[in-house]
Amino acid sequence: MGAESVWSVDPRTGEPRGDRRVAEASGPVAVDAAVRAAHAALPALADRARRAALLRAAAERLHAAAPELVAAADAETALGDVRLTGELARTVFQLRYFADLVDRAAEPGGFLDIRRDSADPGLTPPRPDLYRVKLPLGVVGVFAASNFPFAFSVPGGDTASALAAGCPVVVKAHPDHPETSERMAAALREAAREVGLPEGTIGLVHGFESGPELVRHPLLAGVGFTGSPRGGRALFDLAAARPRPIPFHGELGSLNPVLVTEAALAGAGAGAGTSAAEELAHGLVGSFTLGMGQFCTKPGLVLVPAGAAGDAFEKAVADAAAQARTGVLLDARMREAFLGGFARRAGLADVQTVAPAGPAPTPETPLAVRPGVLSVPAASALRGSHEALLEECFGPATVLVRYADPAEADAVLSRLDGCLTATLHTPAADPDAAALLAVLARFAGRVLFGGWPTGVAVADAMHHGGPYPASTSTATSVGATAVERWLRPVSFQTVPEELLPR
C-alpha cells in the first residue's frame, strides 16, 4: 500500500483544491532521513557568519516570493491578503532580527553568554581557569501552528531562533497549509544552498504519524510546538518518556483574561461622542474577532463590574458584535469544535447570550460563522459545573463575567490556569492598580495595562509564554531570548586558549 496523500484543502468549502495533492505523508523512513540530514549539517552551522547569512538570505527569498506565498496561504487558510501580508512581513523581519543577534552573539550580553574566571590558587577552594559558553543542542523539531502559516510555521520564530543558535531544523508541517509549507521550505533550502550550507539544514515532514516519529527520533535534541493542549501534552509526555528525554517547549493554549474596573468604564471616551464603555467594547470586539478569533492571545474572558456601568458595557459589546464580520475558521474540524463549544457554554445555567455565534453561510463561503458573546454572573462561573467558561474556546467568542465586588473578581482569577497574557483596564491613578497587576502577573507571561493582547512584538523584552498550559517551560517563543531554548552551557576548565571554542 502506498503512502497516504497530503491534500491542500479550501477552508471556505472544506473541499480539496482541485488536483492539489501536495505530498505524501512521511513514514518512519522519511522522518529518519530528514533528521539524519539535519544532523549531518550541524558542523557547517557552527560557522556563525554563515548561519547569519542563511537567515538573511531566507528573509530575502521570502520577501521576493511574497505575492505567491500570500496567495497560497490565503487559499489554504482564508485569513485574507491584508492579515497574511502583515504576517509575512513580520516573519521576514524576525529572520533578520535573529541574524543580527547572531552577529552579536559573542559580545557582552550576547546569547553565547560567555563568562571567564581566571585561575586563583589562593582561594578556598582553589579556582581553576574557567571559560563558559553556550553551545547548540543539536537537531530541533518544530511543529507548525495552524493559525500562523508564516510566523509560527516553517520559517517562523522556532525555526529562526534554532538556526540562530546553530541547530538544524526538521519542521512538521501543519495539515491546514501543506502547499504553503512546501513553498517556504523550498525557499529556505535555496537560501541554504546560496550561502554554502547543506539543504538538509531545513527538513520538512508531513502527516499525523510523522509528529510522534519525529519526537521519538534518537538524534532529535529538542522540540518547539504551538498548538492544542491535547496534542501538545501528548507530545510533551512522549518527549519526557524517551530513553533520553529532551526539552519540549510547547505553547498549548490560553484564556487571556481581561479585568475591567468600574472606574475604567466611567466618563467619555477619547473619540468624539463616545463613552469609555463604548470605546472599550469596540476594542474588545475588534480583538476577539481578529483573525476570526484564532489568535493564541485572543481575550477569551472579560471580568466586568455588575451594575449600571457593566450593563452599558455589555450593551455596547452586543452592538459592536452585531456589526462584526463573519468568516471561516481554519478547517472544518475547528469550526465544529467552535460551534459545539459555544452552544454547550450557552446552555449552562445563568448564562445569557449577548451575541449568538452560529453558522453564517454564503454561496462563496458555506462554512462561514458569526462571532458570539456570552455573559454570566461571577458566582455562577465559579460553579464546578461551569468550568468550561474558564477554559479557552478557540474561535471568535468571548465570555463576560459580571463580578459584584473585588473579592468575586479575585475568586475568578484565582481559578484560572496559566495564560499567555492578562490585561487590566483601570485609570493609572487607581490606588489598587499595582496590586491588581501583581495578581495578574501570578498566572500570565505578559501583563498589559490598557490595550488588547492580540499581537506580539518581536523584541528583546518580549515574553511569549506563561505557566502551564500556556507553555510547558519558562521560555519564550518570541523575542531575543527564544534562542536560549536551543543552547546549553558548557564550562571548559584549564583548556589552552587556542583550543577554546570561539
Query: Per the residue annotation, which of 296, 314, 408, 419 is the catalytic one?
Result: 296
Residue 160 CB-half CA count within 13 A:
32
What does DSSP assign to residue 3?
A: P
Closest residue by Cα to residue 421 from 330, 321, 295, 313: 295
CA atoms of 166 and 8, how far apart (whole Å): 32
CA atoms of 93 and 98, how far apart (whole Å): 9
Query: Per the residue annotation, which of 76, 87, 182, 251 is the catalytic one?
Result: 251
CB distance 228 to 145 below 8 Å: no
CA atoms of 216 and 243, how far apart (whole Å): 9
In this structure, the strands spanning 444-449 and 419-425 are parallel
The SS3 of residue 492 is strand
Q: Is the peptide bond before 125 cis (omega within 30 degrees of 0)?
A: yes
CB distance 92 to 73 below 8 Å: no
Q: What is the dihedral of CA 83, 84, 86, 92, to 10 degrees?
A: 160
The SS3 of residue 205 is strand
Residue 393 known to be catalytic: no
Closest residue by Cα to residue 56 from 101, 14, 123, 12: 101
Strand ranges, E, within 390-475:
397-403, 419-425, 444-449
Residue 296 known to be catalytic: yes
CB distance 94 to 153 below 8 Å: no
In this structure, which amino acid lies at residue 321?
A
C-alpha cell at 57: 538570505
In this structure, which amino acid lies at residue 336?
E
At 58, which helix (H) or strand (E)? helix 48-64
Catalytic site residues? 251, 296
